[in-house]
Structure 1
């Protein structure tokens, strides 16, 4: 089922329709010159008949919780090669010098 039909259904609910019809979806999708399939819209409306959007969203959240979660996978390890000596790495970090700020007679808020 296309997400555009679900989005149109939710827009109709936000506009104040408790139970949008296929014609409501057709109006919304027609306003943005999108193709409309009566069979898909009718199927969506019939599946959501007698339910509120809040109930459907709550059920969906419960189903998603069953999948577990957490962030994505970890970062990929660096490509092969020998690790540099620790002493050299520390030397390079110490060599970095900070740039001095120049006094500029400029007041962003003045």
Structure 2
């Protein structure tokens, strides 16, 4: 990943065709080790290609990957819990809010507030 970042930094810096030495120089400037094999692999893969097209095709591929976490099981379990728990939740929230307000008032007694 750091080799890709160095490559993109070189492009952003105005170097349309960064070399392995350019990438090593960028990586060295931040104290990162340069892996010659990874640099060669990256440069061989991007040689002659437009970076904007590569990024666009990568986004398309990434968008098609399922991200998991559908949450279907949790939603069913939460709704099957019954109405009693749902009715108690707002009352508990109201009590918490009252306690928070009391703390804020005590801050005013000290003569200062972080948000003034």
Instruction: Provide TM-score, normalisation by structure 1.
Output: 0.64
**TM-score of the superposed pair, with normalisation by structure 2:** 0.61
Larger radius of gyration: 1
Report the CA distance shift for 1:84/1:59 in structure 2 as closer, same or farther (over 3 A).
closer
Q: What RMSD over aligned residues (CA atoms) do the two structures have, in Å? A: 3.7
Structure 2, unpaired ranges of 5+: none
- Label 1:58 to 1:84 Cα distance change in 2 as closer, same or farther (>3 A): closer
Aligned residue pair count? 100
Residue equivalent to 1:59: 57
| Residues 61-100 of structure 1 mapped to structure 2, 5 A cutoff | 61-68=59-66, 72-74=69-71, 76=74, 77=77, 86=84, 89=87, 93=91, 96=95, 98=98
1:40-77 CA deviation, whole Å, 9 max, x = no partner? 111111110101210100111121232245x7332845
**Displaced runs of 4+ in structure 1, greater than 4 A?**
75-78, 94-102
Counterpart of 1:50 in 2: which secondary structure? coil
Q: Which is richer in helix? A: 2
Unaligned 5+ segments in structure 1 are none
Q: Is the 8 A contact 1:18 1:52 kept in 2?
A: no
